Amino acid sequence: MDLEVGSNVYRNTDGTVEIEGVPQLEIAVKPSTNALLINFALFDESGKMTAKLVDSTLMFNERRAYELTKAPSRVTLTHVESKKIVLQIEMKKPDLVVLTRGGFHTVKGHLFEASPTEWKVDKQRASGTTQDLNGGAVKLG
């Protein structure tokens, strides 16, 4: 599967996204329906888990602070109070999944942000790169 994160293309991934060395996001496509299956751990600025998605289902949602909207080809997690998009992932083609927007904390408490043009975390950022990962994980930060 190819993943695009903030105009950066990662070819031939296993669907795992490691941020600051920790697997925080896992993307798969259900073979029978071609629906996105997202596993995602959401943390606050101190590294405490506040929400968790398992197979595109909100399994843990501290204080009901987040709302999940999903369709077979799109999953969006939104903060209820601020209406900010925490994570939005879309399937553009059967073999291309795009993290179109997002803003969330890593397990280390740093803010990760993705936009259509770049991703950034702490003092690192990337835009417009292409990498072949040969079946490995995407490593950001």
For range 124-133, the mean pLDDT: 96
Residue 54 pLDDT exceeds 90 = yes
Confidence band for 59, pLDDT divided at 50, 70 and 90: very high
Domain spans of the chain, in order of start: 2-140
For range 45-60, the mean pLDDT: 95
pLDDT tens by residue, 67-91: 999 999 999 999 999 999 999 999 9
The token duo for 57 is 């289902």
**pLDDT of 94:** 83
CA dihedral sign, ordered 56, 62, 64, 65:
negative
Strand, helix or coil for residue 55: coil
Residue 100 pLDDT exceeds 90 = no
pTM of the model: 0.94
Strand, helix or coil for residue 63: helix
